[in-house]
Amino acid sequence: MQPLLKEMHSWMDAYMKTFHTDDEEVMLGIRIKETHTGYVTSIARELAKHLELNAHDMQLAEIMGLFHDVGRFRQYSLYQTFNDSQSEDHADLGLKVLDELDLMKRLAPEDEALVRFAIKNHNKKVIEPTDSKRKLLFARLLRDADKLDIYRVLTPYLDNEDAMMPKFVKNTGEHLVSEGFVKDFAEGNQVDYYRITTQGDRVLVRLMWVYDINFAWTLKKVVEKGYVDAVVAHLPVKEQPELKPGFDRMYKYIEEKCKTKDAADIY
């Protein structure tokens, strides 16, 4: 499969370049997505290696990383936004792009189905039910690779309330966390993004992602790179002491999760 993988890389590189423009504001977003694609591809392969997947499955993980955000480029071209709620779910749109790609048809049918399942579920609130251990493993692997790099992408914007702010969020300058988010954080819940109403909500969501990370390897990377501490430093801890139970729960969870041993359990 190595020759096919090489062709897929070449196609993706060329495809992303078709969206280049002289508009620097547009290119800022395109470059972010191009770089993100490269990082997620690399992380997915690295995580697959950590899980001791065989060579074939490591290549599948790489394909998933490579194509996971292919829908983002058409999304911006059609809707001039990367906001799924204002346009179209970018994972579902990505599957439509892959429908048109003959290279995908050169995968074995079971491999193509595996890649499509992981990509479809990489951005959903939860992974859709499946009885397949392989589908579940690869969906979890891709979600982890994506989240690890999203932390890198978003960290520089913690100091800027306007940068990359979803248009459905009212930029009132309010940095406090809304009551519902405080409660969900204390209970270790995930939230729907449409509920975000303040800058504090937008920042806190990144800590809630901790509970949606599947492998200890990934969570250790998130902690080692300082992403958790950076988010905490940008939350109104003094003004909202009611956040403390959420922090206590989160740090305990991180400590316990990082002690666990990752296993693929598919062979």
Q: What are the tens digits of pLDDT across the range 47-94?
A: 999 999 999 999 999 999 999 999 999 999 999 899 898 899 999 999
Q: Is residue 170 part of a domain?
A: yes
Please answer whether residues 147 and 207 qualify as being in contact, where contact means their C-beta atoms are separated by less than 8 angstroms.
Answer: no
**Residue 259 backbone class (left: φ over 0; alpha: ψ -120 to 50; beta: rest):** alpha
145 and 181 assigned to the same domain: no
What pLDDT shows up at residue 171? 47
Q: How far apart, in whole angstroms, are the C-alpha atoms of residue 48 and residue 124?
A: 21
**Which residue ranges of the chain lie beneath pLDDT 70?**
160-173
In a domain, 266, yes or no: no
247 inside domain: yes
Closest CA to 28 of 153, 148, 146: 153
Are 190 and 213 part of one and the same domain? yes
Q: Same domain, yes or no, for 51 and 101? A: yes
Instruction: Judge contact between 200 and 212, C-beta under 8 A.
Output: no
Cβ-based neighbours of 20, under 8 Å, separated by 6 or more: 27, 30
Residues 109 and 211 in one domain: no
Of 168, 211, 174, 204, the C-alpha closest to 189 is: 211
The set of residues, in sequence order, having a beta carbon less than 8 Å from that of 55 and lying 6+ positions away, is none
Residues 139 and 172 in one domain: no
Amino acid at 266: I
Phi, psi of 194 (to 5 degrees): -65, -15
Give the domain extent around 63: 2-154
Does 267 reside within a domain? no
Give the mean pLDDT of the chain: 92
Task: Tell me: do 150 and 171 sit in the same domain.
Answer: no
CB 37 within 8 Å of CB 16: yes
Work out how many domains the chain is built from and give that number.
2
pLDDT at residue number 168: 36
* Domain boundary pick from 154, 174, 198: 154
DSSP letters spanning 99-110? HT-GGGGGS-HH
- Within-domain flag for 132: yes
Residue 145's alpha-carbon distances to 62, 99, 101, in angstroms, are: 10, 23, 23
Say if residue 149 is in the same domain as residue 172. no
Evaluate whether residue 265 is within a structural domain: no
Residue 224 and residue 148 share a domain: no
Q: Which pLDDT value is given to residue 160?
A: 61
Secondary structure element (H or E) that encloses residue 39, with its range = helix 24-50
Instruction: Give the C-alpha separation, 139 to 184, whole Å.
Output: 24
Residues recorded for the chain: 267
Tokens of 83: 């906001």
pTM of the model as a whole: 0.93
Residues 16 and 122 in one domain: yes
